[in-house]
Amino acid sequence: MDIETNLAATAAARKERLIALRKRKANHDAGGSTSGTFTFKQRNFDPETRQARVRVAGEAEENTVEKEVEGLAEAIVAEDEERRAEELDLFNIQPKRPNWDLKRDMNVRMGKLERKTNEAIATIFRQRLQAMRKDKGGQVDLVASINAAEHERDAVGGGEASDDE
């Protein structure tokens, strides 16, 4: 029974709202005022500041994206022309070193050769150590063998350095 009273109350409230709506519509059609309260519309009301918007007579058009982007295209074209003029400068086109591309291509190959060279040096050093162990009967002075290898390398490297010049 509680549900029936609730439904009846809801129906009665809806009827009252519909009657009030019909009266307002009839008043509006007749040219009368709808009510004594003033409501703000979104076009005249700024919800951020919670105040009415002030319109200037000369400001008929609103700010649009077209107005904001108006000078942007010309600025971009001018900047692009400046950049192209700068790129056409011969000093910017010419590399700082004429053989930079050759060095770039050779770096990969030289990396592989350097690894193989280090492996070969280690193999030669092991062979020399084994030969020294056989000659001296098992004891090898490691420091002396390293110094001897460095002297040999310096001697060979010194001869090559004078040939390059």
- Global pTM reads 0.28
pLDDT digits (tens, 9 = 90+) for 1-32: 678 888 999 999 999 999 999 999 888 887 65
CA distance 75 to 80: 9
Concatenating the DSSP letter of every residue in 64-85 gives -HHHHHTTHHHHHHHHHHHHHH
Phi, psi of 49 (to 5 degrees): -95, -10
**pLDDT of res. 65:** 79
CA distance 113 to 65: 61
